Amino acid sequence: MADNATSDSLETAKKLVDELYEYRDHYVERFGMEKVTQKADDLDGKMRETLVKLDEMKDTIKNKAEYFLLRGRTLNVVGKFSNEALETLSKAVKLDPKSVEAWNHLGECYWKNSDMAGAKNCFSGALGHEKNKVSLRNLSMVMRQLRGSPDERQQLIKDSVEKAKEAVQLDISDGTSWLILGNAYLSLFFSGGQDPKVLKQCMSAYSQAERDLVAKSNPDLSFNRAMSYKYQEEYQQALEGFHTASQLDPSWTDPLTEEKALLTYLDNIVTLTEKRGKLKPKKLNAYLNSLSVKDFGPYAGGSYTSPHGQTIELAPIPTTDLAPEVNSNKVICGKVVCSVESNSTVPFTFCLSDKKGCVAVTVYNMVQGGGVKIGDSVAIPEPFGQKVQVKHKDKTYDFLSVRVDSPLVMVVNGNKVRASKQAASVLSVRTVPE
């Protein structure tokens, strides 16, 4: 009878803790966005209720490793670091070194305390006992936080993608694993040359994550996907994503900061292109009148040789004739009238003016400090025009910009840009362990 009572107490305790996590993960689904500001307080209250009930059952649970695991899980349900959770889960691991779940939760404690080496040891230790999706995806996150030389960081990010892929393969229906994979691709996009194909893989993973209600209510998904939209220059979706992330976690200031910064950036582009960098008419006319065929550099001859060795015919067109697409067999040339300030170094943005109009140019993979300056002439072959149409919080933006994925295609002051001007950037992707 005593054994049955002990078994019943353990099962009751497990059910209590599972219900606590379900309460956390499905809070928005259950109570709606209007109550999300209360989530942290409600979850804290629910956690304390669960702790009281667990403590009441302490003497009836003979397996102390299980008891400390359940108590540690309960303390670990909130997003902030708990030293008590760390100590409790450490006891669970000592009593049962083969407990994968205890190792995973202990690793999350180290993560929350910014101890990445400790977190890595825990997740690796768990994988030493059993291959599981939680350890794999958490290890993927840890790898992206570890320090090292640029080459070491690049390899760590590549390895983090592989760990996240393994987690997805173990359970393709788990939205959190898809979210972590998307984050890994987003980091790879910035560390590996800002390849648009990698960004598409990132967005595909986020789309899979959104199918899971738990992942969909995670503010990290909305925020990180918004960052991806931002670098695809799909600003409408980016702004909506930042706004949603802010609603899902009102205490997190980054989404609101990014939303405001992006609106300011768009404001600046519209103002500066309309006013041609706010240059005085005399100076602007002097710049524009100095433009000549020499400023086209190697693109002045009516053709150029592509990186693939193909001969591409080129015809000069004014910026006002740009289409919202790849303008094949065309080249534009103008004067830089200003740079556009942003809260990010990627992309480098400037306004290019010719005698007929002015257009914003966004350049990716430009080394920091290697941008063009006011008065420089810039020629861009087969420019990729992008139509920006945004309506957000009573603000409306409508303009055409030119996206340049590599500065090496540009000609500045009659000369091709040197390879030393191209560089990759690294972005920190926000995620909390799960």
Are 258 and 299 in the same domain?
no
CATH number, domain containing residue 58: 1.25.40.10
| Torsion, Cα of 6, 9, 15, 20 (10° steps) | -130
- Count of residues for the chain? 434
**Given a cut of 60, is residue 5 above it in pLDDT?**
no
Are 257 and 313 in the same domain?
no
Into how many domains does the chain fold? 2
pLDDT tens per residue, range 213-267: 999 999 999 999 999 999 889 999 999 999 999 999 999 999 999 999 999 999 9
Are 76 and 225 in the same domain?
yes
Are 232 and 315 in the same domain?
no
**Given a cut of 90, is residue 163 above it in pLDDT?**
yes
Domain finish residue from 217, 239, 265: 265
Q: 192 is in which domain, residue-wise?
A: 2-265
Percent of the chain with pLDDT over 70: 95
With a CB cutoff of 8 Å and minimum separation 6, the contacts of 329 are 312, 313, 314, 315, 382
Are 214 and 131 in the same domain?
yes
Residue 433: inside a domain, yes or no?
Answer: no
Residue 55: inside a domain, yes or no?
Answer: yes
Are 295 and 371 in the same domain?
yes
Domain finish residue from 240, 265, 290: 265
**Given a cut of 70, is residue 403 above it in pLDDT?**
yes
pLDDT tens per residue, range 96-138: 999 999 999 999 999 999 999 999 999 999 999 999 999 999 9
**Given a cut of 70, is residue 421 above it in pLDDT?**
yes
| Torsion, Cα of 258, 260, 266, 272 (10° steps) | -120
Residue 434: inside a domain, yes or no?
Answer: no
**78 in helix, strand or coil?**
coil
pLDDT of residue 346: 77
Q: H or E segment at 336?
A: strand 330-339
pLDDT of residue 6: 61
pLDDT of residue 304: 75
Dist. CA 407–CA 365, nearest whole Å: 7
Mean pLDDT for 325-349 is 92
Are 359 and 222 in the same domain?
no
Are 160 and 190 in the same domain?
yes
pLDDT band at residue 309 using 50, 70 and 90 as cut-offs: confident
Are 191 and 308 in the same domain?
no
Q: Nearest 5 degrees, angle CA 73-CA 76-CA 79? A: 150
- The amino acid occupying position 241 is G
Residue 105: inside a domain, yes or no?
Answer: yes
Q: If 0-12 CB within 10 Å is exposed, 13-18 middle and 19+ buried, where does residue 193 land?
A: middle
**Given a cut of 80, is residue 303 above it in pLDDT?**
no
pLDDT of residue 427: 47
**Given a cut of 70, is residue 307 above it in pLDDT?**
no
Are 371 and 297 in the same domain?
yes
**Given a cut of 90, is residue 334 above it in pLDDT?**
yes
32-39, long-range: CB < 8 A, 24+ apart: 33/247, 33/248, 36/247, 36/248, 36/249, 36/250, 37/250
Are 191 and 302 in the same domain?
no
Q: Nearest 5 degrees, angle CA 305-CA 308-CA 309? A: 45
Mean pLDDT for 145-163 is 93
195-203, long-range: CB < 8 A, 24+ apart: 196/232, 196/405, 199/228, 199/231, 199/232, 202/228, 203/228, 203/232
Whether the ω angle into residue 433 lies within 30 degrees of 0, i.e. cis, is no
Residue 110: inside a domain, yes or no?
Answer: yes
Residue 402: inside a domain, yes or no?
Answer: yes
Residue 147: inside a domain, yes or no?
Answer: yes
Weakest mean pLDDT among 103-117, 193-207, 271-285: 193-207
Dist. CA 227–CA 238, nearest whole Å: 6
In order, the DSSP letters of 286-331 are HHHHT--GGGGGGGTTSEEE-TTS-EEE-EE--GGG--SSB-TTEE
Residues 337 and 284: beta-carbon distance below 8 Å: yes
Q: Which residues of 115-130 are buried (b: 16+ CB within 10 A; e: fewer)?
A: bbebbbbbbebbbeee
pLDDT of residue 426: 44
pLDDT band at residue 430 using 50, 70 and 90 as cut-offs: low
For β-strands 384-392 and 395-404, DSSP reports them as antiparallel
Mean pLDDT for 403-415 is 94
Domain finish residue from 205, 234, 265: 265
Are 261 and 287 in the same domain?
no
Residue 427: inside a domain, yes or no?
Answer: no
pLDDT of residue 423: 66
pLDDT of residue 95: 97
pLDDT band at residue 365 using 50, 70 and 90 as cut-offs: confident
pLDDT of residue 432: 53
pLDDT tens per residue, range 54-82: 999 999 999 999 999 999 999 999 999 99
pLDDT of residue 369: 82
Token digits for 118?
A: 């400790």
